[in-house]
A and B are shown apart, each in its own frame.
Chain A
Amino acid sequence: AQKVTQAQTEISVVEKEDVTLDCVYETRDTTYYLFWYKQPPSGELVFLIRRNSFDEQNEISGRYSWNFQKSTSSFNFTITASQVVDSAVYFCALTEKAAGNKLTFGGGTRVLVKP
């Protein structure tokens, strides 16, 4: 069975600080995908990134970066130079071959960026 753990329930930072969100996953499958979604206060779920299990290259998109390490089953997300608009709940999610296209979400990490 697939499982996603986001140990940090809430992180509070001051604007311009960096913030790293942890995500640890469990899966028995060798083929799987990992995702990050953002849920701002308005409530919608916004897709940020998808990473497959065969590609451990880290990725950077603007102020966002992701570190995928299969050895520790982690897919961490860093926001560099945080801004107030980054305040949201961030979800890590997993889908594995054995589960078809079903997404399993972590509990989410609430990020509060103070001005």
Chain B
Amino acid sequence: DAGVIQSPRHEVTEMGQEVTLRCKPISGHNSLFWYRQTMMRGLELLIYFNNNVPIDDSGMPEDRFSAKMPNASFSTLKIQPSEPRDSAVYFCASSLIGATPDRGLGETQYFGPGTRLLVL
């Protein structure tokens, strides 16, 4: 089975432009997560969805960031307008909640290969 798929793998854009990152979770998984990795802040959770519904977006930096999950097999993370400080690697991860007796806590998250974003 294919793992988590992210596109594009690399993106170079100019400040002020809109950037859209895409993610296809593992088939059958019901939770999806967006992370950002930078040297300064490490790996940080931006937002996550359960059954396509956003559960916690407290990690989203500001209103310039938005995420959607229109169906179980697709999610987008959009930055508009982009700024140089948004340069980072963005990871998408998915997991299956509910497979363990404790109602899904601690389910393993499987990560996509990441999108390396550079905003000039």
Q: Which residues of A contact B (CB under 8 A)?
A: 31-33, 35, 37, 43-47, 50, 52, 91, 95, 97, 100-105, 107-108
Contact = CB atoms under 8 A, between A and B. Distances in A.
A33 B105 contact: yes
Given A44-B111, A45-B91, A50-B108, A100 B42 contact: no
Contacts, number: 60
Given A105-B42, A105-B43, A108-B42, A43 B108 contact: no
The winner among B43, B91, B95, B97 for most chain A CB atoms within 10 A is B43
Nearest to B44: A105
A95 B106 contact: yes
B56 interface: yes
Interface of B: 31, 33, 42-45, 48, 50, 55-56, 89, 91, 93, 95, 97, 102, 104-114, 116
B8 to A, nearest CB: 14
10 contacts: A37-B111, A43-B113, A44-B111, A44-B113, A45-B111, A95-B106, A101-B31, A103-B33, A103-B45, A108-B42
B112 to A, nearest CB: 8
B29 to A, nearest CB: 11
A46 B113 CA distance: 9
A45 B5 CA distance: 13
A45 B107 CA distance: 16
B89 A43 contact: yes
A25 to B, nearest CB: 13
